[in-house]
Chains A and B, each alone.
Chain A
Amino acid sequence: MASTSYLEGIRQGIWEEMERDPSVFCLGEDIGIYGGAFKVTDGFIERFGPERVVDTPIAESAIVGAAFGASLTGLRPVAEFQFMDFIGCAFNQITNMLAKAHYRWGAPAPVVIRGPSGGGVHGGPFHSQNPEMYFVHTPGLKVVCPGTAYDAKGLIKSAIRDNNPVIFFEHKFLYRRIKEDLPAEDYTVPIGKARVARQGRDLSIITYAAMLHVALEAAEILAKEGIELEVVDLRTLLPLDREAIATTVRHTNKVIILHEDTRTGGIAGEVAALINEEAFDDLDGPIVRITSRDTPVPFSPPLEDYFLPKVADVIREARRLKSY
């Protein structure tokens, strides 16, 4: 089967779910005739009609609220955000309305909120953010951040089939940059399960989304000097896969946590705390964090390059930790 991009994987996933289940529908800005700012829903309106591909006014709070409302009538809405940077506009609906509905009054909220996040494309402070941690801090939500085309497709399908609100962060740097062969048959990837993306014995690197590829590239280089990295792709940030995190630490005894999100309050802190709880005795060195700087995402390429974690950072820290 022809190689499929990350973006195409998401497209296929939504398309197939819409074919399979008539209760799935999409809503969002410019998703109809235009096919969405990144063309994820290109051709959907032709196939499913304007009833199931709803081009909305620019009103994120209304999009999320209406998605929840439609879910109360038994549907499974998939709401597109043109950029996840704008998710703050719907923050209250997501964190107070959707996230608490089942706990408070027994109403499930099978809503998917999806869209592009992440930097590396010189999009500046409002088209590059990684806002996942606002939502990881909210019980009732699930937060998914795929790093491969296979996972993107399998996880969007799981997100649509899930009975809970899922915030699905697509990484725009990966959209058209990575490709792989996908199975022809229907498959899903479970939410809440991490994946060992590369096996290694010397130290573990726990990461997700675009940074998965930075970790894999560093692992390739380090292997040549005899340092074997084990790369764990979290895939889901909420709920975290405690077992997978503990297992890799028990296996290698040294761990780096790498993410593109900014440092303070990033998932690395949570993962480190979890390691402390689950596998403290297995650690043979300090837990190392590699993250973006604690600043807004700057626009200018030299600034953004400085801001983002790089392969060289991973190599440097891995060598240091190996010899600890």
Chain B
Amino acid sequence: MAKKSSTSKKAGANGRRPLKSAPKSAARNGNLSGERRYTIPDYRLESFDCAVRQVASDDGVRYEVTGDLSAPVPPIRESKSLSPRQCLEIYRWMLLNRKMEQALENLYKQGKVVGGVYFGLGQEACSCASAYALCPEDWLAPMIRNQGSLLVRGFSARDVMMQYMAKAGSPTFGKDASSHFGDQQKRNVCAPISTLGDLIPVMAGVALGARLQGRNIAALTYIGDGGQSTGVTYEGLNFAAVQKLGLVLIVENNLWGYSTPSDMQFRVKDLAERAIAYGIPGAIVDGTDACQVYDVVHDACERARRGEGPTLIEAKMMRMKGHAIHDAAEYVPKPLFEYWRKRDPIARLEKFLLERKWLTAKQNEELIAGVDGELEADREFAVNSPMPDPEKTPQNVYCDGCHEIKPKYGVPKAGSGKGSGKPKQGEAAVHLR
């Protein structure tokens, strides 16, 4: 009779017994002949090598940043395609973006905003310069921090303010808030929903739809370092890759997803590396450098318009406020704010323009005054416009003919194959009868 094992550890079918402790992971032996190499271009003029971790101490658990935060601020990278006039335009959009959000913050403090306010502080270059790379027939889908993209795409600060104040004249007639609006008819902007990542397959579909109509367009959207963890991100990107659709996805790595640092969100060093796994080009840019953002997005859009498929761009930057106005971001280690404050996208672009003499101090003053004037007029209008009529609540759940549905780019071809013109007849293989 076999002796009973003294422990409860029985051998499994493979003859193995459970280990007492977890096995040490075997070091990869470098099989050089089979090694593969991929490159992800990094356009930054510096690299940011810091990590945020959870540390427990006597006074609780908190986040700590490790790494060198003393590097000098890099210059703006010379754009290979932007003219001085275009640089100035982007600069103005960025100013408008920031000052509009400052106005929103004031409106909030005056109790005029319904709900909270979201900010793109520190990310204006990423929003504005990327949207600036689009042509009118391209598409844009903004996320919550891309209020600047909406301005570039032809909405006004008034629209955004009215959204936050839930006014009857807001782009959603008071039915939704913040950047949650779009324009399917004229501006080619798809409104976001809150659930993160859901725009990615939608924008792949926009590119698919246009291609069916004989047109390759660029379809630009964004996802955060947090939001990219969703499954739908994978589905959308893979779909676009397989179908070679002109999706341009910017991963806005601002180091935080609400209170969660990106080190707790993913394990790759750079999210752009994910492109390798999808089999598509990826690139890294400094999200606080408008010229870099523009150039890379411009190239990705050109690729999309040539029908060569999607591009994944990681823009590195920092969310310079809390998740929304209610959040004081006390969990963020202070040195991180100090590091990124020096890399303010607007101050740096301003300096670049002044140094190059593409902008004089006087012109700058005029430009700022112009932005302020525009915002004041918009604020005035928005504040004084009426709230929605409650009787309208049940309206527009369905389209009962109020919209015409027709191909935007041209009529798809009836058929391009060589079939007989009739559906196939025959016994289908059906296993459920």
Query: Which A residues are closer than 8 A to B by beta carbons?
Result: 29-30, 32-34, 37, 45-46, 49-50, 55, 57-62, 82-83, 85-86, 88-89, 122-127, 293-296, 298-303, 305-307
Contacts and interface: CB of A to CB of B under 8 A. Distances in A.
B226 A57 contact: yes
A294 B398 CA distance: 11
A62 B265 CA distance: 13
Nearest to A65: B231
Contact of A127 (B194, B226, B258, B392): B194
Nearest to A86: B195
A59 B231 CA distance: 7
A127 B195 CA distance: 10
A30 B258 contact: yes
Contacts of A301: 114, 166, 387
18 contacts: A29-B258, A30-B260, A33-B259, A34-B258, A46-B61, A55-B264, A57-B264, A57-B266, A58-B226, A58-B227, A58-B229, A59-B230, A82-B258, A122-B166, A298-B175, A300-B166, A300-B387, A302-B388
Interface-central residue, A89, A122, A123, A124, by most chain B CB under 10 Å: A124
A82 B389 CA distance: 31
Given A89-B195, A303-B388, A295 B394 contact: yes
B259 A300 contact: no
Contact of A299 (B56, B61, B174, B232): B174
Interface-central residue, B175, B331, B391, by most chain A CB under 10 Å: B175
Interface residues of B, number: 44
A286 to B, nearest CB: 23
A124 B115 contact: yes
Nearest to A124: B177
Interface-central residue, A32, A293, A303, A306, by most chain B CB under 10 Å: A303
A37 to B, nearest CB: 7
Nearest to A304: B393
B229 A34 contact: no
A296 B177 CA distance: 13
B172 A299 contact: yes
B195 A50 contact: no
A286 B389 CA distance: 32
A293 B61 contact: no
A86 B167 CA distance: 26
A50 B61 contact: yes
A263 to B, nearest CB: 11
A37 B327 CA distance: 10
A124 B227 CA distance: 20
B63 interface: yes
A198 B51 CA distance: 57
A302 B401 CA distance: 27
Nearest to B114: A122
A33 B229 contact: no
B220 to A, nearest CB: 21
B114 to A, nearest CB: 5
Given A34-B258, A55-B264, 7 more contacts: A33-B62, A57-B260, A124-B115, A124-B176, A124-B177, A298-B174, A299-B115
Contact of B394 (A30, A49, A124, A293): A293
B257 interface: yes
Interface in B270-329: none
A32 B260 CA distance: 9
A295 B54 CA distance: 43
Contacts of A82: 258
Contacts of B167: 300
Nearest to A34: B259
Given A124-B176, A294-B397, A32 B61 contact: yes
A306 B174 CA distance: 13
A59 B265 CA distance: 10
Contacts of B195: 85-86, 88-89, 126
Nearest to B168: A300
B264 A123 contact: no
Given A86-B194, A89-B195, A298-B393, A33 B175 contact: no
Interface string B336-348: 0000000000000
B115 A58 contact: no
Nearest to B173: A300
A85 B193 CA distance: 11
Contacts of B389: 302
Nearest to B174: A300
B171 to A, nearest CB: 12
Contact of B176 (A57, A294, A299, A305): A299
Interface-central residue, A55, A58, A59, A124, by most chain B CB under 10 Å: A58
B194 A303 contact: no
Interface string B376-415: 0000000000011111111001000000000000000000
Interface string B236-269: 0000000000000000000001111000111000
B267 to A, nearest CB: 10
B60 interface: yes
A303 B177 contact: no
A302 B390 contact: yes
Interface in B154-212: 166-168, 172, 174-177, 180, 193-196
Contacts of B177: 124, 299
A57 B180 contact: no
B390 A306 contact: yes
A82 B195 CA distance: 11
Contacts of A59: 229-231
